[in-house]
């Protein structure tokens, strides 16, 4: 959960997640839709799919116990180089280099590494490997993380409190805040699309599930169009004929690699047979618990204010 996400954003999700599925076996046996719903709003949804798949593999192939080496951990779904190293070092004391964003910053400053990220990652890992002790590698990794988080901060690092300030090359140069070097960011492109919010008089909203692959895979959404740079909004793309009315405000959502502008249309219908392939009507009380990513909540809220925050029919949270 903490990958690309702050502790403050994760805390409530983590506590609720563990209360619901306290063991690997519990998570492995859980319906995937329930897992996706519990993750809704946290973003980077491939993490949830991988976490569920990982639990299934551990429960099925490893008798409910995680492998105790970084190499074994890397073979599990969703566990990459950093996560495998962190688990292996902290849980099993494997003497392996652990490098997160905080450690990248500490090591880049310690050695004044001029190569910009991401190309510098290999160099930083080599330097961290040289520093990692053969014993208590997990304690060392966590100490380095804390050093970067609390002292060697991105802005105004507290060098006077740093235990490794003396050998720090960046401090000697007086250019601490300029490290790690970063390659210029490419301009974030803009994509456009349309979202169609169909609503029944009782407040039910028509939803469907996104394909498993790709962005927001496996999550719920209102019907919509593809997102592309040259899309031109039109109600002719609606999932069924109806009195579609364009919502005044455009929904804007920024993903990691692009900016999305969604034109939202709303239709109030009394028909009961408008389910699209793989779609369903989400009742007002159930809508807040659906696996809706933030961008879809924005689209629904633009058309039906308060819909994703209701606690029961006719009430708002």
Spatial CA neighbour of 2 closest among 75, 119, 101: 101
The pLDDT-based confidence of 12 (bands split at 50, 70, 90) is very high
DSSP string, 168-232: -HHHHHT-GGG-S-BPPPPPPPEEEEEEEEEE-TT--EEEEE--SSSTTTT-EE--B---BTT--
Spatial CA neighbour of 47 closest among 279, 257, 219, 255: 219
Residue with tokens 């364009």: 246
pLDDT above 90 coverage of the chain, percent = 75
Task: State the pLDDT at residue 174.
Answer: 94
Task: State the pLDDT at residue 127.
Answer: 96
The DSSP secondary-structure symbol of 116 reads P
Contacts of residue 108, defined as CB under 8 A and 6 or more positions apart, other chains included, come to 120, 124, 170, 179, 180, 181
Task: State the pLDDT at residue 289.
Answer: 87
Mean pLDDT of 65-89: 95
Task: State the pLDDT at residue 317.
Answer: 35
By the 8 A CB rule, do 300 and 230 touch? no
Which is more confident, 83 or 317?
83
- Reading the block at residue 35, the tokens are 């897992």
pLDDT tens per residue across span 137-193? 999 999 999 999 999 999 999 999 999 999 999 999 999 999 999 988 888 999 999
Task: State the pLDDT at residue 44.
Answer: 84
Lowest-confidence region among 55-69, 167-181, 201-215: 201-215
The pLDDT-based confidence of 314 (bands split at 50, 70, 90) is very low
pTM: 0.71
pLDDT tens per residue across span 105-116? 999 999 999 999
What domains lie within the chain, and their CATH numbers? 7-92 (1.10.340.30), 101-178 (1.10.1670.10), 190-309 (3.90.79.10)
Can you say whether the dihedral through the CA atoms of 179, 180, 181, 184 is positive or negative?
negative
The pLDDT-based confidence of 59 (bands split at 50, 70, 90) is very high
């Amino acid at each position: 959960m903490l990958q690309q996400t702050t502790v403050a954003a994760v805390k409530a999700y983590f506590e609720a997640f563990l209360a619901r599925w306290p063991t690997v076996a519990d998570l492995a046996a859980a319906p995937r839709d329930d897992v996706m719903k519990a993750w809704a709003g946290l973003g980077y949804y491939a993490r949830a799919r991988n976490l569920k798949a990982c639990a299934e593999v551990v429960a099925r192939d490893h008798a409910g116990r995680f492998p105790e080496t970084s190499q074994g951990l890397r073979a599990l779904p969703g566990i990459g180089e950093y996560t495998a190293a962190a688990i292996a070092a902290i849980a099993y004391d494997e003497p392996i280099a652990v490098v997160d964003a905080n450690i990248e910053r500490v090591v880049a400053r310690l050695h004044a590494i001029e190569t910009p990220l991401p190309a510098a990652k290999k160099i930083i890992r080599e330097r961290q490997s040289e520093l990692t002790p053969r014993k208590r590698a997990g304690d060392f990794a966590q100490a380095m993380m804390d050093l970067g988080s609390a002292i060697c901060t991105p802005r105004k690092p507290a060098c006077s409190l740093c235990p490794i300030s003396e050998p720090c090359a960046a401090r000697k140069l007086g250019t601490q805040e300029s490290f790690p070097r970063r390659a210029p960011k490419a301009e974030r492109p803009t994509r456009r699309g349309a979202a169609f919010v169909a609503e029944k008089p009782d407040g039910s909203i028509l939803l469907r599930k996104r394909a498993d692959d790709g962005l927001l895979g496996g999550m719920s959404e209102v019907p919509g169009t593809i997102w592309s740079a040259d899309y031109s909004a039109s109600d002719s793309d609606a999932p069924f004929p109806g009195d579609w009315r364009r919502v005044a405000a455009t929904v804007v959502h920024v993903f990691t690699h692009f900016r999305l502008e969604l034109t939202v249309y709303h239709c109030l219908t009394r028909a009961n047979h408008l389910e699209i392939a793989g779609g369903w009507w989400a009742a007002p009380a159930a809508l807040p618990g659906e696996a809706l990513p933030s961008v879809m909540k924005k689209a629904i809220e633009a058309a039906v204010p308060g819909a994703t925050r209701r606690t029961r029919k006719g009430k708002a949270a």
